[in-house]
Amino acid sequence: MRKILYGDIVVAASVIRCVEPYARSSFIDRLMHKAHCADKFRKRFGRWCAGMGDGSLVAACSGLPRETFDYLGDPDVADCMQLVFEAVKKWRDFQRSESSTRIASSRCSTGKTES
Protein backbone atom coordinates (compact mmCIF):
# COMPACT_ATOMS: atom_id res chain seq x y z
CA MET A 1 0.00 0.00 0.00
CA ARG A 2 1.15 3.52 -0.68
CA LYS A 3 2.24 5.88 2.07
CA ILE A 4 -0.72 6.82 4.26
CA LEU A 5 -1.34 10.54 4.60
CA TYR A 6 -3.69 12.62 6.72
CA GLY A 7 -6.20 12.81 3.87
CA ASP A 8 -6.32 9.02 3.69
CA ILE A 9 -7.32 8.85 7.36
CA VAL A 10 -10.02 11.52 7.03
CA VAL A 11 -11.54 10.06 3.86
CA ALA A 12 -11.51 6.49 5.22
CA ALA A 13 -13.15 7.69 8.44
CA SER A 14 -15.85 9.52 6.48
CA VAL A 15 -16.51 6.36 4.44
CA ILE A 16 -16.72 3.98 7.38
CA ARG A 17 -18.99 6.45 9.15
CA CYS A 18 -21.66 5.38 6.62
CA VAL A 19 -21.23 1.73 7.64
CA GLU A 20 -23.11 0.19 10.55
CA PRO A 21 -20.93 0.30 13.70
CA TYR A 22 -20.77 -3.50 14.06
CA ALA A 23 -19.34 -3.86 10.52
CA ARG A 24 -16.85 -0.98 10.51
CA SER A 25 -13.78 -2.91 11.63
CA SER A 26 -14.04 -5.56 8.94
CA PHE A 27 -14.94 -2.92 6.35
CA ILE A 28 -11.78 -0.86 6.98
CA ASP A 29 -9.73 -4.07 6.86
CA ARG A 30 -11.18 -4.77 3.40
CA LEU A 31 -10.36 -1.22 2.28
CA MET A 32 -6.77 -1.67 3.45
CA HIS A 33 -6.53 -4.94 1.54
CA LYS A 34 -8.02 -3.34 -1.57
CA ALA A 35 -5.44 -0.53 -1.44
CA HIS A 36 -2.64 -3.06 -0.97
CA CYS A 37 -3.75 -5.14 -3.97
CA ALA A 38 -4.06 -2.04 -6.13
CA ASP A 39 -0.56 -0.94 -5.14
CA LYS A 40 0.87 -4.34 -6.03
CA PHE A 41 -0.88 -4.12 -9.40
CA ARG A 42 0.50 -0.60 -9.94
CA LYS A 43 4.03 -1.70 -9.11
CA ARG A 44 3.86 -4.75 -11.34
CA PHE A 45 2.17 -3.28 -14.41
CA GLY A 46 3.16 0.39 -14.07
CA ARG A 47 -0.39 1.69 -14.20
CA TRP A 48 -3.44 2.13 -12.02
CA CYS A 49 -5.85 -0.74 -11.61
CA ALA A 50 -9.30 0.05 -12.96
CA GLY A 51 -11.80 -0.11 -10.15
CA MET A 52 -9.19 -0.19 -7.38
CA GLY A 53 -7.09 2.91 -7.98
CA ASP A 54 -3.44 3.69 -7.44
CA GLY A 55 -2.82 1.84 -4.18
CA SER A 56 -3.70 4.68 -1.83
CA LEU A 57 -6.37 4.44 0.82
CA VAL A 58 -8.14 7.46 -0.70
CA ALA A 59 -8.35 5.68 -4.05
CA ALA A 60 -9.72 2.55 -2.36
CA CYS A 61 -12.47 4.74 -0.91
CA SER A 62 -13.37 6.42 -4.19
CA GLY A 63 -16.88 5.83 -5.38
CA LEU A 64 -18.08 4.83 -1.93
CA PRO A 65 -20.64 6.90 -0.05
CA ARG A 66 -19.18 9.10 2.66
CA GLU A 67 -20.53 11.23 5.42
CA THR A 68 -18.65 14.46 5.90
CA PHE A 69 -17.98 15.91 9.32
CA ASP A 70 -17.22 19.42 10.47
CA TYR A 71 -15.29 18.81 13.65
CA LEU A 72 -13.34 16.01 15.26
CA GLY A 73 -15.05 16.36 18.66
CA ASP A 74 -18.03 14.28 17.57
CA PRO A 75 -17.71 10.91 19.37
CA ASP A 76 -18.75 8.97 16.27
CA VAL A 77 -16.12 10.74 14.17
CA ALA A 78 -13.49 10.02 16.82
CA ASP A 79 -14.51 6.36 16.86
CA CYS A 80 -14.24 6.13 13.07
CA MET A 81 -10.83 7.81 13.01
CA GLN A 82 -9.65 5.55 15.83
CA LEU A 83 -10.74 2.49 13.84
CA VAL A 84 -8.78 3.73 10.83
CA PHE A 85 -5.66 4.36 12.91
CA GLU A 86 -5.98 0.91 14.50
CA ALA A 87 -6.34 -0.70 11.06
CA VAL A 88 -3.26 1.16 9.80
CA LYS A 89 -1.23 0.03 12.81
CA LYS A 90 -2.46 -3.56 12.45
CA TRP A 91 -1.63 -3.50 8.74
CA ARG A 92 1.87 -2.12 9.31
CA ASP A 93 2.55 -4.64 12.10
CA PHE A 94 1.40 -7.44 9.82
CA GLN A 95 3.61 -6.20 6.97
CA ARG A 96 6.60 -5.99 9.31
CA SER A 97 6.03 -9.52 10.59
CA GLU A 98 5.61 -10.84 7.03
CA SER A 99 8.87 -9.27 5.89
CA SER A 100 10.78 -10.62 8.90
CA THR A 101 9.31 -14.08 8.22
CA ARG A 102 10.46 -13.89 4.60
CA ILE A 103 13.95 -12.84 5.70
CA ALA A 104 14.14 -15.62 8.28
CA SER A 105 12.87 -18.26 5.86
CA SER A 106 15.33 -17.15 3.18
CA ARG A 107 18.16 -17.63 5.68
CA CYS A 108 16.90 -21.08 6.53
CA SER A 109 16.51 -22.16 2.93
CA THR A 110 20.19 -21.55 2.05
CA GLY A 111 21.31 -24.52 4.06
CA LYS A 112 23.93 -22.44 5.87
CA THR A 113 24.35 -22.75 9.57
CA GLU A 114 25.25 -19.86 11.80
CA SER A 115 27.74 -20.27 14.61
104 pLDDT exceeds 90?
Answer: no
pTM: 0.79
106 pLDDT exceeds 60?
Answer: no
Q: Which CA distances in Å does 87 have to 24, 67, 109?
A: 11, 19, 32
Cα 68 to Cα 66: distance, rounded to the nearest angstrom: 6
Give the residue-averaged pLDDT of 25-29. Answer: 95
Residue type, 65: P
115 pLDDT exceeds 50?
Answer: no
